[in-house]
């Protein structure tokens, strides 16, 4: 498999496709095996290899741009290593009615890397689309990796050892979103696994998000500051282009400077602080109240014991 | 005798030798504890030894010898010398060393206090006592036995500022309950003297509601002052005790302070004439308790309270009307009262002298300055720390065996 494609096509991937594939995979994985215990997750030897899921991707090709809009699932027959053809055509008919412009662009699967058996499926699809696309999602979670674990492969005819062979070549892609998709992706991104329903945890989650954003901003500014100091001391060579960028960044704030803004801003700030103060007060008072009750029960000789009397 | 003196000399030599590192000091401490009887027997002859020792380097040894010296009865001439030498020791000693023997240090300071009282010059005692407290305290939240003595000196010497500085610290650890009662009571008196009525109220409240198993005289006196300060500062007094007051106090305090409760009742009615009648009736009692000055302040506060009540009803009022409502003698007096209150920040108003009208204003604080932000921020920090301490105490109480025994019955 070569590293980059030479076909010159631009691929645009919609997040809906990614969500569909990941949803399909998660469902199959959850249904096929009992949920792994925490020890089993770490021990890669004992757990069975994750199942592979298959499906089709559909979209539009205009000129040199291939835009992948949607996807649907397919059944995979592992004995014959083929996809269920009849189902595929059925589904294709249905989709054609709703989206007349879309047609099958290729297929998707999950796994770490493209495998040899995939080529069979690829060739089988070649009669629908002469150059199908293979979208591969890597379900293993890698926290160090910043990019999406999606790769798009095209097939190219290369001469290897004198034999012309079809092999997969990787292509780059960009993510394209419609407004509706942006909202749903945002929603999914903020879903918490435990009860995200109560207002307190939602507020805490919201504030945590803001806090981490500010922390990141702070660390980046610190890096810049450190860099500028080093430049001032002379440890680093002076780069005027960088200095210009920093200067333009600094001029963006403060955005408003008028006195009325100051007044309103400080008043609102003080209001928030007062509310925090009030909340802490209430918290403290309730702790104090409980403590006083406990103290009275423990130490005051003649306090009423609230319902316990000698006559019971 | 000579044998004893020789062993004392060897001890002094050891003090010199073993005052270096921490382990040496611990060793020295155990040695000194063992030779206590020796010190006691030789107490009259130990004074010249003190000159051989350095109060800073050999604080522990110096302390033991000083303690033995002062345990003997002191004559009046020696008293002033002794006071000076103890003061010098307190100023120079090393805090870590004396914290190893806190009760000895406390007894030396107590004798210091007795001598100063004998000399009737409490001013001498203020500064050394303050240094002694700071050196003995494990942290600024720790109440030592020396605190009430220090406050007593401040009261007698009428030197209130250092007393106030000590009162600003929040207290979380108390050695002896009696110290706490005395500390709060004296502290309350100092604050009353400085006209810091809110802090005085807080301190006296602490005395009245502190846990106790039997009533003591300090609490009774404090309760009387508490009623008066509450009338001056808040304008009303509620008879019911908060629920954390001990049941002993709840049942018995009222019996001892009848005249004060009657005063509070007539204050609540709002008529100056009735109040003055009440004061006249119990004059001897108030004078006996030395609270007459406070009672007079209560009466003058009545006028202030009434004028403040007017701000809630009227927007503008003439000076003559104010004088009539508040039962003052003339408009001039009313003007003086209102002027004084504006200066003290108790009301917000402007006086128009041409037509003798007073216009009452709102609190001009807009809460939009940076200073206000800092104030609120520091308050929030304080309350967070307090909240943490409270949660710790709450957990400790939950694990207390006494509490668990009573709850699981």
Q: Taking residues B257-271, what's their average pLDDT? A: 84
- What's residue A40's pLDDT? 43
Listed range (B69-73, B163-167, B251-255) with the worst mean pLDDT: B69-73
The answer to whether A280 contacts B366, with C-beta atoms less than 8 Å apart, is no
CA distances from B406 to B51, B248, B400 (A): 59, 20, 10
The answer to whether A303 contacts B380, with C-beta atoms less than 8 Å apart, is no
What the block records as the tokens of B46 is 């130990």
- A254 prior amide bond cis, ω within 30: yes
Q: Taking residues B44-51, what's their average pLDDT? A: 72
> Strands across the sheet with A163-171, in order?
A163-171, A150-160, A133-137, A103-110, A54-62, A65-74, A10-13, A173-175
Q: Which residues of B touch A267 (CB under 8 A)?
A: 366-368
A254: DSSP letter: -
Q: What percent of chain B has pLDDT over 70?
A: 97
- What's residue A218's pLDDT? 94
Chain A positions with Cβ closer than 8 Å to B: 262-264, 266-267, 269-271, 273-274, 276-277, 280-281, 283-284, 287-288, 290-292, 294-303, 305, 308
- What's residue B125's pLDDT? 83
pLDDT at B304 over 90: no
CA distance B239 to chain A (A): 19
* Angle separating helix axes B331-344 and B319-326, nearest 10 degrees: 90
- What's residue A281's pLDDT? 92
- What's residue A196's pLDDT? 52
Listed range (A62-76, A295-309, B89-103, B121-135) with the worst mean pLDDT: A295-309
Give the model confidence (pLDDT) of A141-194 as tens digits: 776 676 788 888 888 887 778 788 788 888 888 888 888 888 887 777 776 555
* Angle separating helix axes B292-313 and B272-281, nearest 10 degrees: 170
Listed range (A12-26, A210-224, A267-281, B22-36) with the worst mean pLDDT: B22-36
- What's residue A36's pLDDT? 55
Residue from B139, B127, B146, B204 nearest B169 by CA = B139
- What's residue B214's pLDDT? 83
Give the model confidence (pLDDT) of A78-122 as tens digits: 777 677 788 888 888 888 888 888 888 888 888 877 777 788 888
Probe site for chain B from A294, A306, A309 (most B CB atoms < 10 A): A294
| Rg, chain A, Cα only | 30
What does the alpha-carbon distance between residue A55 and residue A72 come to, in Å, rounded to a whole number?
6
- What's residue A285's pLDDT? 93
pLDDT at A307 over 50: no
- What's residue B57's pLDDT? 75
The mean pLDDT of chain A is 80
Q: Which residues of A touch B398 (CB under 8 A)?
A: 294
- What's residue B378's pLDDT? 92
Q: Taking residues B14-25, what's their average pLDDT? A: 73
What is the predicted ipTM?
0.76
Q: Which residues of A touch B170 (CB under 8 A)?
A: none
pLDDT at B243 over 60: yes
Q: Taking residues A241-258, what's their average pLDDT? A: 84
- What's residue B19's pLDDT? 67
pLDDT at A20 over 60: yes
pLDDT at A195 over 70: no
For B246, which residue in chain A has the nearest alpha carbon? Answer: A300
pLDDT at B2 over 70: no
pLDDT at B11 over 50: yes
Q: Taking residues B275-292, what's their average pLDDT? A: 84
**B:208-237 residues touching chain A, CB 8 A cutoff:** 211, 213
CA distance A181 to chain B (A): 42
CA distance A291 to chain B (A): 5
- What's residue A194's pLDDT? 55
Q: Taking residues A12-18, what's their average pLDDT? A: 88
CA distances from B242 to A65, A224, A303, B388 (A): 78, 57, 13, 23
**B:356-395 residues touching chain A, CB 8 A cutoff:** 366-370, 372-373, 376-377, 379-380, 383-384, 386-387, 390-391, 393-394
pLDDT at A259 over 90: no
Listed range (A9-13, A58-62, B46-50, B196-200) with the worst mean pLDDT: B46-50
How many CB atoms sit inside 10 A of residue A30's CB?
10
User: H/E/C letters for each residue in A147-169?
Assistant: CCCEEEEEEEEEEECCEEEEEEE
Give the model confidence (pLDDT) of A32-60 as tens digits: 766 555 444 444 444 567 778 888 888 88
CA distance A254 to chain B (A): 17
pLDDT at A304 over 60: no
Give the model confidence (pLDDT) of B95-116 as tens digits: 877 787 888 888 888 888 888 8
With an 8 Å Cβ cutoff, is B406 touching chain A?
yes
- Cβ–Cβ < 8 Å for B14, B40: no
How many inter-chain contacts (A to B, CB under 8 Å) are there?
A: 82
- What's residue A309's pLDDT? 35
């Amino acid at each position: 498999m070569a590293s980059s494609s030479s076909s010159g096509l631009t691929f645009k991937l919609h997040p809906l496709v990614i969500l569909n594939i990941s949803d399909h995979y998660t469902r199959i994985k959850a249904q096929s095996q009992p949920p792994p215990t925490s020890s089993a997750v770490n021990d890669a030897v004992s757990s069975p290899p994750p199942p592979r899921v298959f499906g089709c991707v559909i979209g539009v090709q205009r000129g040199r741009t291939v835009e992948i809009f949607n996807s649907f699932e397919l059944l995979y027959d592992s004995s014959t290593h083929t996809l269920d053809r009849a189902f595929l055509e059925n589904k294709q008919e249905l989709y054609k009615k709703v989206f007349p412009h879309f047609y099958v662009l290729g297929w998707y699967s999950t796994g770490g890397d493209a495998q040899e058996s995939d080529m069979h499926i690829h060739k089988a699809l070649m009669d629908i689309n002469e150059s199908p696309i293979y979208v591969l999602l890597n379900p293993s979670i890698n926290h160090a990796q910043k990019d999406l674990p999606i790769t798009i492969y095209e097939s190219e005819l290369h001469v290897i050892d004198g034999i012309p062979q079809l092999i997969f070549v990787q292509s780059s892609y960009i993510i394209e979103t419609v407004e509706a998709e942006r909202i749903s992706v945002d929603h999914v991104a903020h879903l918490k696994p435990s009860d995200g329903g109560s207002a307190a945890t939602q507020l805490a989650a919201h504030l945590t998000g803001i806090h981490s954003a500010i922390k990141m901003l702070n660390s980046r500014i610190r890096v810049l500051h450190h860099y500028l100091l080093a430049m001032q001391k002379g440890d680093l060579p002076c780069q005027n282009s960088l200095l210009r960028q920093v200067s333009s960044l600094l001029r963006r704030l403060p955005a408003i400077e008028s006195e009325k803004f100051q007044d309103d801003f400080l008043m609102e700030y003080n209001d928030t602080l007062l509310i925090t103060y009030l909340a802490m007060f209430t918290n403290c008072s309730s702790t104090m109240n409980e403590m006083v009750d406990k103290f009275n029960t423990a130490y005051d000789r003649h306090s009423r014991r609230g319902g316990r009397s000698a006559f019971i | 005798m000579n044998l004893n003196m020789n062993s004392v000399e060897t001890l002094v030599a050891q003090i010199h030798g073993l005052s270096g590192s921490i382990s040496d000091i611990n060793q020295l401490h155990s040695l000194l504890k063992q030779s206590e009887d020796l010190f006691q027997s030789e107490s009259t002859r130990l004074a010249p030894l003190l000159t051989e020792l350095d109060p800073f380097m050999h604080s522990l040894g110096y302390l033991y010898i000083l303690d033995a010296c002062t345990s003997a009865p002191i004559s009046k001439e020696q008293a002033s010398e002794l006071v000076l030498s103890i003061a010098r020791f307190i100023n120079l000693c090393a805090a870590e060393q004396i914290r190893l023997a806190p009760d000895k240090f406390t007894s030396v300071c107590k004798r210091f206090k007795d001598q100063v009282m004998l000399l009737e010059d409490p001013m001498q005692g203020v500064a050394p006592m303050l240094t002694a407290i700071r050196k003995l305290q494990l942290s600024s939240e720790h109440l030592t036995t020396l605190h009430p003595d220090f406050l007593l000196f401040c009261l007698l010497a009428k030197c209130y500022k250092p007393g106030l500085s000590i009162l600003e610290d929040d207290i979380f650890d108390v050695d002896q309950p009696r110290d706490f009662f005395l500390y709060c009571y004296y502290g309350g008196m100092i604050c009353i003297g400085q006209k810091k009525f809110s802090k005085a109220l807080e301190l006296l409240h602490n005395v009245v509601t502190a846990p106790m198993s039997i009533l003591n005289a300090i609490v009774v006196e404090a309760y009387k002052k508490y009623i008066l300060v509450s009338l001056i500062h808040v304008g009303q007094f509620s008879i019911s005790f908060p629920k954390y007051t001990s049941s002993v106090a709840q049942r018995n305090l009222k019996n001892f302070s009848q005249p004060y409760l009657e005063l509070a009742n007539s204050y609540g009615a709002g008529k100056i004439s009735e109040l003055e009648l009440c004061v006249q009736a119990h004059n001897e009692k108030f004078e006996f308790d030395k609270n007459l000055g406070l009672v007079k302040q209560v009466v003058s506060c009545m006028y202030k309270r009434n004028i403040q009540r007017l701000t809630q009803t009227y927007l503008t009022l003439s000076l003559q009307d104010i004088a009539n409502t508040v039962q003052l003698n003339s408009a001039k007096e009313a003007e003086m009262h209102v002027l004084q209150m504006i200066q003290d920040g108790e009301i917000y108003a402007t006086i128009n002298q041409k037509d003798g009208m007073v216009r009452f204003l709102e609190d001009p604080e807009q809460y939009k300055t940076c200073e206000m932000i800092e104030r609120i921020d520091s308050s929030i920090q304080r309350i967070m720390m307090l909240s943490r301490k409270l949660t710790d105490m709450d957990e400790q109480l939950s694990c207390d065996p006494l509490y668990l025994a009573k709850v699981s019955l």
